[in-house]
Structure 1
Amino acid sequence: MDDAQWLVVGLGNPGPDYASNRHNVGQMVLAELAHRIGATFRSQKTNAMVAEGRTAPGGPRLILAKPNSYMNLSGGPVAALLKFYSLDPSRLIVVHDELDIPFDRLRLKQGGGHGGHNGLRDIIAATGSADFIRVRVGVGRPPGRQPAADFVLRDFSSEERKVLPNLLADAADAVEQIAVDGLTAAQLRFHTEPV
């Protein structure tokens, strides 16, 4: 049995008013992962909803977490989760929306800055480390002169919603492959453009 554990955090804002926003795509991916591993989210004392299970029988253990805080205050719950499970930030995968990637594309990386993403900024500040893996889910740039903050706090368009289930499945596949085969193998798969 694989004793590896990964903390997988899906960023977003709490409550039904935000549930379908572009900014909550990280939490949407976690819902897909929880469904796959047959786990149910439960409230935990780290100010997060947590679901746990294995990617496959004998596979790595995934601790899926959705902070109960707003996006910009994600760091406190993430730091508390790492401490609670005695995990190093190198065992953390953060799934989040990314404006600089076109909709329906993924990019995976380890480390780096926050790129203006306030959720990442708060996690880096609270954990004292940027050395975690990011699954960056492309939501695209806002049209025209619409402010980015307004764009990410709106629901996906009807056209985007037709493709969204595939994007969420791809992002969940990426998390599972990182946990099983490592980041490089997942990058080779998900960074290769279809021909």
Structure 2
Amino acid sequence: MYLIVGLGNPGKQYAGTRHNIGFETVDYICSKKNLKLDKAKFNAIFGEFRLEGHRVIIAKPLTYMNKSGNAVMEIARYYKIEAKNIIVVYDDVDLGLGKLRIRPNGSAGTHNGMKSIIFQLQTEDFPRIRIGIGKPVSMDLADYVLQRFNPEEIDLIKDVAVNASEAVDEIILNGVDSAMNKYNIR
């Protein structure tokens, strides 16, 4: 069994912001699979689907970013999902806009959502898909990540959400190394 988690902040005021690219990716996966996040429990909304025999839970935490680990831990504990089968999709200011990087494990860096998940799971050993949102040139980082993408960036962000959703499937079906070989080179 797998758990896919897209990180973001709940609420309409955060929709379409750089920090919510994980939520946007989950929304894309759901639309591609004609799936609704129709369960609300564990401080998250989530749904379930099968991918070639694998049972998959897909979720968006309803906590704010810095408490995302609470929802992830509750879902993982309830469904008995091992950390190695939890795939987290989130924004990364250290990657160029529209870049995608998959890692099998690692630190949280400066990302508070990832810090929360690592703290709750008590491990860094779970795959993650980092989506580059670029760095601000002359703006406070907190303001930048809560800013919406500008019209010129939208197509690039849609493309990276497609790649991230394909990478999720690749991780589940063929493993993290295969996904890294396919998607880290783009």
TM-score, with normalisation over the residues of structure 1? 0.92
Q: 2:141 aligns with which of 148, 158, 171?
A: 148
* Counterparts of residues 150-189 of structure 1 (less than 5 Å): 150-189=143-182
Aligned to 2:4: 8
Aligned to 1:24: 20
Distance in 1 between the 2:173 and 2:39 partners? 27
Q: 2:74 aligns with which of 70, 76, 80?
A: 80
Aligned to 2:37: 41
- CA RMSD in angstroms, aligned pairs only: 1.1
Shift of 1:110: 1.6
Distance in 1 between the 2:8 and 2:111 partners? 12
Which residue identity is paired with 2:30? Answer: A
Aligned to 2:184: 191
Q: Alignment partner of 1:65: what SS?
A: strand
TM-score, with normalisation over the residues of structure 2? 0.96
| Bigger helix share | 2
The answer to which of 32-41 and 16-25 deviates more is: 32-41
Q: Alignment partner of 1:17: what SS?
A: helix
Shift of 1:107: 0.3
| Contact 1:22 1:97 (8 Å CA) reproduced | yes
| Contact 2:39 2:47 (8 Å CA) reproduced | no
* Counterparts of residues 60-71 of structure 1 (less than 5 Å): 60-71=54-65
Q: 2:110 aligns with which of 116, 119, 128?
A: 116
Q: Which runs of 5+ in 2 are unaligned?
A: none
Distance in 1 between the 2:60 and 2:31 partners? 14
Q: 1:53 aligns with which of 49, 55, 59?
A: 49
Distance in 2 between the 1:62 and 1:34 partners? 12
For residues 18-67 of structure 1, give each alpha carbon's deviation from its aligned partner in whole angstroms, at most 9, with x where no partner exists. Answer: 01100000010001111122211123321100011123xx3422210000
Q: Name the count of aligned residue pairs.
A: 186
Q: Which runs of 5+ in 1 are unaligned?
A: none
For residues 2-25 of structure 1, give each alpha carbon's deviation from its aligned partner in whole angstroms, at most 9, with x where no partner exists. Answer: xxx210000000011001100000
Q: Alignment partner of 1:12: what SS?
A: coil
